[in-house]
A and B are shown apart, each in its own frame.
Chain A
Amino acid sequence: MEVSTRGVTEPAFFVLTALADAPRHGYGILQEVGELSEGRVRLKVGTLYGVLERLVGEGLVEPDREEIHQGRLRRYYRLTERGSDSLAADIERQSANVRAASVRLHAWRPATAGGTA
C-alpha cells in the first residue's frame, strides 16, 4: 500500500494518534489531542472537522458507529489500515528528524571551542 512520505500536518498527526488505540467521537478526539500534546495543541471544532473530513476522504480514518448522546449525534471514528500505515510512516519520519538533530546537537560545541568551517 502506498503511503505518503510528505508527512501530515500537526493537527492531523494528533488526530491519527488519538484514534490509534480506540474509536473516538469528535469531542473525545479533542480531549485526547489535548492530553497527548500535554495541552500544547488545543484543536477548535472547525479545525477538527476540516482535518477529519480530509482524513476520511483520504481513507486514513473511517466512521465506526453512531450513538445518540443526550439527544445529540455522536459519530465515532476509527483508524483504517491505511491510516495506521500513514501514522507509522510519519512517526518514522519524525523519529529520523529527531535522531539527526540529536546527533548534531551532541556534536555541537560553543563557537569559542572551534569547529569546522
Chain B
Amino acid sequence: MSVLEGRYRGVLRLLPASYRDVWEEEMVATFLDSVATDDVDEAEYLDEFGRPSWSEVGSVVTLAIQLRLGGHDAPPRAFVWGEAVRTVGLVGLLTFALALPMDLAQLLWIAGGLPLPAATREALAGSPPPDLWATAWIAAGALWLVAYLLLVMDRRRASLLLALLGLGFAVGQATVASAELAAGRAPATSLLTPWILLLISVVVVMTLAAFHRQAPPVRRRPWLLALAVGAVLSCVPGVLVLMQPIDMSVLDWPGLLCVGWIVAALVHLADPARRAASASLALVLLCAPVLLSRIGSLLEYLATGYQSVAPLTVSLGIVEAVVVLALAIPLAVQTMRRLPRPPVAAVPPVPTQGRR
C-alpha cells in the first residue's frame, strides 16, 4: 500500500464502519484512479509523499457528518444522533441569544430610573461608563439571537454566517484576555471564562454542520416559544442582580444553566419512555458545556478570593456541579441503552452473471 493510499484510508476512517465495509475499497480505487498520472516520476512522488487534497478530505468529512448525524432517510441510530446534535446546536444558540434580553433588561432598568437599592446605585455611580467590551457583548448577543431565529426559520446558511460572526467576538475576547495575561496585567485564571466561552462557541458553531440538506426542518413553534419564555426568565435574574448588593448575588449564569439542566434531567429520568431518545442524548451531550462553565467559574471565584461573589454562590455552585454529575451518569447509561443498534453492512447486490 502506498503512503498516499494509506493516508486516504486514514481519512475514510471518519466514515461509519458499516459504510466503510461496503464502500471503502471502491472509494479508494476511484480516488487513486482520479490522481493517477502517466508521468512515472510524478506517480512515484505521489505514492511516497502524496496527500489527499483538502477538497477531497472536505468531501469525506461532509459525507461523514451526513452519515453519522443523519437526516430524514438515515438509519435510526444516525437519525437519533443527528437530532441530538441539532438540539444541542439550537440550545447553544438559544443560550447565547438569551444574554441579550438579560443585558438589555439591566440597561433599560437603569436608564428608566426604576427603583434600585442604595448600594447598587452607589456602585453604578462609581463605575465607568460601558466600555467597548460591554458594547461588543451586547452586539454579540444580538448576532447569536439573529442566528438562532434564522435557524428556526430554516435559513441555515445565513444562520451559520451570523453564528461565525458571533464566534468572532468570542475569539476577540479570548485573544484580548491572553494579551492581558502576557502583558502581566491579569492573572492566569482570568483566561478561564473567555477561553471556556470560546470553546463552547466553537462547539455550538460546529453542531450547525448537522443541519445539512437531509436534516428535517426545525419545528418552529416550540423553539420560538422557548425563546419567548427564556427571554422573560433571563430578564428576572438580570434585574434581581441589580436589586441587591452584588456580593449577595447567588444567581450567576453557570448556576442558572445547571438548574435548567437539572430540571430537564429529572423530567427525563422520571419517565424516560415518554421522552425521545434524541432529547435524552442531547441532554447527556449538554452536560459537558454546563459542567465546564460551572467548574470554570468556580475556579475563577477561587482564584480571585471570592471577591465578587457571596460564599453561598460558591457553595451552591459546588452542589450544582455535583448534582449535575450525579444525574448525568444514570442519564447517560439509560440513554445508551435506548439508542438503536448500529446498522449492519448491506452490500448492494451485484448480478453474478456480469462478474468477471
Q: Is A92 an interface residue (CB 8 A)?
A: no
Chain B residues, CB < 8 A from A48: 30
What is the chain B residue whose CB lies nearest that of A47?
Answer: B59
- A30 with B63, Cβ < 8 A, contacts A49-B27, A63-B350, A65-B355 known: no
- Chain A, interface SS category: mixed
Partner of B30, one of A25, A63, A68: A25
Whether, in the assembled complex, A69 has its beta carbon less than 8 Å from a beta carbon of chain B, the answer is yes
Inter-chain CA distance A27–B36, complex, in Å, is 11
Contact check, A49 vs B356: say whether CB atoms are below 8 A apart: no
Q: Given A44-B58, A45-B60, A64-B354, answer yes or no on A56-B29 (Cβ-Cβ < 8 Å).
A: no
A26 within 8 A of B: yes
Q: A50 contacts the other chain (Cβ, under 8 Å)?
A: yes
Q: Would B26 and A49 count as touching, CB distance under 8 A?
A: yes
A110 on the interface (CB 8 Å rule)?
Answer: no
6 A-B pairs besides A9-B213, A49-B26, A63-B349 with CB distance below 8 A are A30-B30, A44-B58, A49-B27, A49-B30, A56-B348, A69-B29
- Per-residue CB contact flags for chain A residues 41-84 toward chain B (1 = under 8 Å, else 0) read 00011111110011011000011111111001111100000000
Q: Are A46 and B30 in contact (CB under 8 A)?
A: no
The reply on B56 being an interface residue by CB < 8 A is yes
Whether A47 contacts B62 in the complex (CB less than 8 A), given A53-B23, A63-B350, A65-B350, comes out as yes
Interface residue B66 (Cβ < 8 Å from any Cβ of A): yes
Q: In this complex, what residue of A is CB-closest to B73?
A: A57
What CA separation (Å) do A56 and B32 show in the bound complex? 23
Q: Does B49 contact A (CB under 8 A)?
A: no
Could you say which residues of chain A place their CB within 8 Å of the CB of B29? 26-27, 69, 72-74
Residues of B in contact, count (CB < 8 Å): 31
Majority-rule SS of B interface residues: helix
Query: Is the pair A72, B25 in contact by a Cβ cutoff of 8 Å?
Result: yes
How distant is A12 from chain B, measured CB to nearest CB, in Å? 11
The A-contacting residues of B in range 299-356, CB under 8 angstroms, are 348-351, 354-356
- What separation, in Å, do the CA atoms of A74 and B32 have in the docked complex? 12
Q: How far is the CB of A22 from chain B (nearest CB, A)?
A: 13
* Nearest CB in chain A: distance from B46 CB, A: 15
CA A65 – CA B63 in complex, angstroms?
A: 25
Note all chain A residues with C-beta closer than 8 A to B27.
26, 45-46, 49
Within the complex, the shortest CB–CB distance from A35 to chain B, in Å, comes to: 14
What is the chain A residue whose CB lies nearest that of B213? A9
A62, B355: Cβ atoms closer than 8 Å: no
Show the binding face of A for B, using Cβ within 8 Å.
9, 25-27, 30, 44-50, 53-54, 56-57, 62-69, 72-76
Q: Name A73's contact: one of B25, B55, B60, B62 (CB within 8 Å).
A: B25
The distance in angstroms between the C-alpha atoms of A49 and B348, with both chains bound, is 13
Quick check: is B127 within 8 A (CB to CB) of the other chain? Answer: no
B63: A residues at CB distance < 8 A: 46-47, 49-50
Q: What are 11 sample pairs from A and B whose C-beta atoms fall under 8 A apart? A: A30-B34, A45-B30, A45-B60, A53-B23, A57-B73, A62-B348, A64-B351, A65-B355, A67-B355, A72-B32, A74-B26
Does B246 sit within 8 A of A, measured CB to CB? no
**Which A residues lie within 8 Å of B59 (CB)?**
44-47, 50
Q: How far is the CB of A66 from chain B (nearest CB, A)?
A: 5
What residues on B are CB-neighbors of A63 within 8 Å? 348-351
Nearest CB on A from B139, distance (A):
36
- When A47-B59, A56-B348, A65-B356 are in contact, do A27 and B34 touch as well, CB less than 8 Å? yes
- Give the distance to chain B from A71, nearest Cβ to Cβ, in Å: 9
Please state if A72 and B351 are interface contacts (CB–CB under 8 Å): no
Select B62's contact among A50, A53, A57, beta carbons within 8 Å.
A50
A73 to B56, CA, bound (A): 20
List chain A residues, Cβ under 8 A from B354. 64-66, 76
The answer to whether B60 and A46 have CB atoms under 8 Å apart is yes
Q: Which of B54-79 contact A (CB under 8 A)?
A: 55-56, 58-63, 66-67, 73
Contacts of B271 in A (CB 8 A): none
What is the minimal beta-carbon distance from A42 to any residue of chain B, in angstroms? 9
Which residues on B sit within 8 Å (CB–CB) of A74? 26, 29
B41 contacts the other chain (Cβ, under 8 Å)?
no
